[in-house]
Structure 1
Amino acid sequence: MRLADEITVIIAKEAVTLRPSLRCAIRLERRPGSFQQLTRDIMDGSLTAAVEVIQDHTDLDFLPNRILDDLDRLKPALLRYVMACAGVDPHDAPKALPVGKPAKSVPFRDHLIGLYRIAAGWLGWPPEVALDATPAEIVLAYEGRLDMLKAIYGGGRDQPTDERPLEEKFRSVFTTFGTVKEAA
């Protein structure tokens, strides 16, 4: 998964950087047909779809006029952007093949809301930071947080469980500090 994968396109001889943030993904998901229709529209050469993707990333005047001449050339970059907004990295596709039980299908709206919950809730990011992060950044930060919690508190199938009584666990920890229990 690529972090902060920004896509730069040239429109009217000016570089425009497209950052697939959660905020942009939520806005694009709300259009009729969500990401599926947006993808179709881009592939069909829809000027409206191209403008909807690019408009948040530039303040160029007469944007539709400037995009029109370059629409066919912009298609691959716009499709990569939509995939990144959806949290899909084409380089990870071979690794993402299902093994065992198939994953539950979730509407994109719910997926994006879930990413926001993870960023703002689990990770404790302020709303602005959560909305400015890319889906890839949120997923990787969440995985890092889970790894940290497992390292601190234990857990997971690959970690041995300590079946000792709680009193014995405390004794072993405190004896490493040289603590001695006084008789009452």
Structure 2
Amino acid sequence: MTYQRPAYEQVTISHGGNTVVLRPSLRAAATLVERHGFPGLFRALDDLNLTIISEIILAGSTNRQDAAAFLLSQAGKPLFPFVSAVRQPLGDLVSMFTPARDPKAKASKGKAISWAEAYAGLYGYATGWIGWTPEAAWNATPTEIDRAYVAHLDMLNAIHGSAEQEQHVHDPCEEVTEGEARSGLAKLKANAQRGKP
């Protein structure tokens, strides 16, 4: 069975009557991937590493106080049932730290970049191109920023045209150089002095 990414990227973790909502925000992605890398995050879930699992929950939570209370409620209780309950949703969350593939997008021919560079680029698109506040950029997911940036470019292309669209064909016969203009003007003056039209 393949993983179906939700349209609105969010996961809910529940255990022992407590629930926390998590979002794969740019802030969470940049912080956790910089600190542990994607392999380290997935390995922590496989190895039942409570420290990193707690970091993922705190970084991804929509309400940090709820996340702290959720983790505190697990203190002194058996670890395995807790980790078994949160492992799959946290794996889904970490997967959402990469922008969802746009089926209309063409394959990139650019050079490979690090995730830190990719996240910095997304932040730049959000704040520089789209005009979001820094807070809005950090709270949006990488997919949301990517989709908003593409939509912004589509809007600019619709308003101003695209370089890919057919350009107006320029007729070189209509072009007159400065030298030709001066030469023509000189001929007109000479003809006027001789009384010719």
Regarding TM over 0.5, the answer is yes
Which of the five TM-score ranges fits, normalised by the shorter chain?
A: 0.7 to 0.9
Distance 1:18 1:85, change over 3 A: same
Q: Which has the higher contact order (CA 8 A, sep 6+)?
A: 1
Runs (4 or more) in structure 1 with deviation over 4 Å come to: none
Aligned to 2:17: 13
Q: Is 1:41 aligned with 2:37? A: no
Unaligned residue ranges in structure 1 (runs of 5+)? 166-184
Q: Which amino acid aligns with 2:95?
A: M
Q: What is the aligned residue count?
A: 158
Secondary structure of residue in 1 paired with 2:40: helix
Q: Is the 8 A contact 2:22 2:93 kept in 1?
A: yes
Secondary structure of residue in 1 paired with 2:96: helix
Q: Distance in 1 between matches of 2:74 and 2:120?
A: 30
Q: Distance in 2 between matches of 1:129 and 1:146?
A: 19
Aligned to 1:106: 113
Q: Distance in 2 between matches of 1:34 and 1:140?
A: 24
Q: Which amino acid aligns with 1:26?
A: A
Q: Is the 8 A contact 2:13 2:85 kept in 1?
A: no
Q: How far 1:59 sits from its partner (Å)?
A: 3.0
Normalising by structure 1, report the TM-score: 0.74
Alignment of 1:70-149 (within 5 A): 70-87=82-99, 89=100, 92=101, 104-149=111-156
Distance 1:104 1:135, change over 3 A: same
Normalising by structure 2, report the TM-score: 0.69
Q: How far 1:29 sits from its partner (Å)?
A: 2.0
Secondary structure of residue in 1 paired with 2:168: coil
Q: Deviations over 1:152-183 (max 9, x none)?
A: 111143x2222358xxxxxxxxxxxxxxxxxx
Q: How far 1:76 sits from its partner (Å)?
A: 1.5
Instruction: Provide the aligned C-alpha RMSD in A.
Output: 2.8
Q: Distance in 2 between matches of 1:134 and 1:77?
A: 16
Q: How far 1:120 sits from its partner (Å)?
A: 0.7
Q: Distance in 1 between matches of 2:7 and 2:124?
A: 19
Q: How far 1:64 sits from its partner (Å)?
A: 5.6
Q: Is the 8 A contact 1:85 1:135 kept in 2?
A: yes
Q: Which amino acid aligns with 2:119?
A: L
Q: Which amino acid aligns with 1:59?
A: A
Aligned to 2:191: none
Q: Distance in 1 between matches of 2:52 and 2:170?
A: 61
Q: How far 1:4 sits from its partner (Å)?
A: 3.5
